[in-house]
Amino acid sequence: MVFFARIVSFYMVLEFIDTFFCKPILEYSGYNFVNTLVYGAIMIFLAFWVIQPFFSKNGVKFDYSFSLRILLFVLAGSAFRILEDLRFLPRSCSPVDPAFYTITPGVYILFGTLTIIALLASLWLEKKTGKSHTHYFSAIGALLAAPFVLIAFLSFKNPASFLLIAAAWAAVTAITVFTVKKLWKNLFSDRQNILVVAGQALDGTATFVATQVLNCGEQHPLSDAILGFFPAGFIVIKVIIALAIIYFVEKEVKDPNMKGFVKIFVIIIGFAPGIRDALTVGVGTCN
């Protein structure tokens, strides 16, 4: 009976993994509440209990300048993700298959690992040459992003909609910054806060244009619910969330490097899907 129970339990686990993690990848259905929570929990744990403490101890400052450099790696990962949308690369739900790393969550694992390796290499080169690791880190990020961005732009079929997203994003970001400065002058004295708002604004405007102008589908269940109820409100909610996080971090987080890291984390989770969605619209795989 015990052996039989173990077999049943093992089968149930496999069925659970297949239903909530494997099928969404293979059937292009995207996210559900289960895999979203699991991916999010793992990402938060690794970011705040492993990556941030390690690199803080090794002299990395998570400030505005670092935010700009990390965006090169975000751009690289988002542009690389487009290759699967274009069917240049296959997809798989098996972590031992290279095709697993062309889509979420594999693409985050791949480029997160590449970013960490690049930062470690940059710190090593700093010790060897005496030149700041930031220069090496920027160079690696730019070299990594360049070929994937070039492929994406050469594959463009719908530049007008891409430019619409860019214009809407710039407008939303500018209006938000201008309005908030009138109410809270010092909020954007740290330019990193502008990037936090800009990242969420890009994710919101790209999603809005893709789903409401081009009638594309939304893969996140919560976002889909909001868009179905009040489409324009999705952008507003994203911006309000960004401002709320900034307010909390500025008020409650005392360690400057942890404060900067929290902002970078939010910047990444805004820009990564935002850039991917904008490029997806541009290459015409969502229309």
The answer as to whether 7 is a domain residue is no
The stretch 113-124 carries a mean pLDDT of 98
The rounded distance, in Å, linking the Cα atoms of 277 and 204 is 10
The answer as to whether 2 is a domain residue is no
The rounded distance, in Å, linking the Cα atoms of 5 and 224 is 39
Place of tokens 């902002």: 263
Per-residue pLDDT at 30 exceeds 80: no
The stretch 71-86 carries a mean pLDDT of 97
Nearest CA among 109, 112, 135 for reference residue 122: 135
Per-residue pLDDT at 101 exceeds 60: yes
Query: Which pair of structure tokens corresponds to residue 180?
Result: 């908030």
Per-residue pLDDT at 138 exceeds 90: yes
The pLDDT value recorded for residue 254 is 93
For residue 40, the number of C-alpha atoms closer than 13 Å in the C-beta half-sphere is: 10
Distance of CA 246 to the CA centre of its chain: 18
The answer as to whether 19 is a domain residue is no
The answer as to whether 227 is a domain residue is yes
Banded model confidence at residue 257, pLDDT cuts 50, 70, 90: very high
Per-residue pLDDT at 287 exceeds 70: no
The pLDDT value recorded for residue 9 is 64
Per-residue pLDDT at 5 exceeds 60: no
- Is residue 77 within 8 A of residue 71, CB to CB? The reply is no
Give residue 124's domain range. 31-283
Per-residue pLDDT at 15 exceeds 80: yes
- Percent of the chain scoring above 90 in pLDDT: 75
Q: Where are the beta strands (DSSP E) in the chain?
A: none
Place of tokens 């990402």: 43
The pLDDT value recorded for residue 16 is 82
142 CB burial (10 A radius; 0-12, 13-18, 19+): middle
Query: Which pair of structure tokens corresponds to residue 46?
Result: 């690794």
The answer as to whether 131 is a domain residue is yes
- Percent of the chain scoring above 70 in pLDDT: 94
CA dihedral 32→274→268→144, nearest 10 degrees, is 110
Backbone angles phi, psi at 131, to 5 degrees: -90, 140
- Mean per-residue pLDDT of the chain: 91
As for how many domains the chain has, the answer is 1
Query: Which pair of structure tokens corresponds to residue 142?
Result: 């730019």
Backbone angles phi, psi at 106, to 5 degrees: -60, -40
The stretch 260-279 carries a mean pLDDT of 97
Per-residue pLDDT at 214 exceeds 90: no
Comparing 11-25, 32-46, 196-210, 262-276, the range with the smallest average pLDDT is 11-25
The pLDDT value recorded for residue 186 is 84
The answer as to whether 11 is a domain residue is no
Per-residue pLDDT at 36 exceeds 80: yes
The secondary element (H helix, E strand) that includes residue 139 is helix 133-154
The pLDDT value recorded for residue 83 is 96
The pLDDT value recorded for residue 246 is 96
What digits encode the pLDDT tens for the residues 168-177? 999 999 999 9
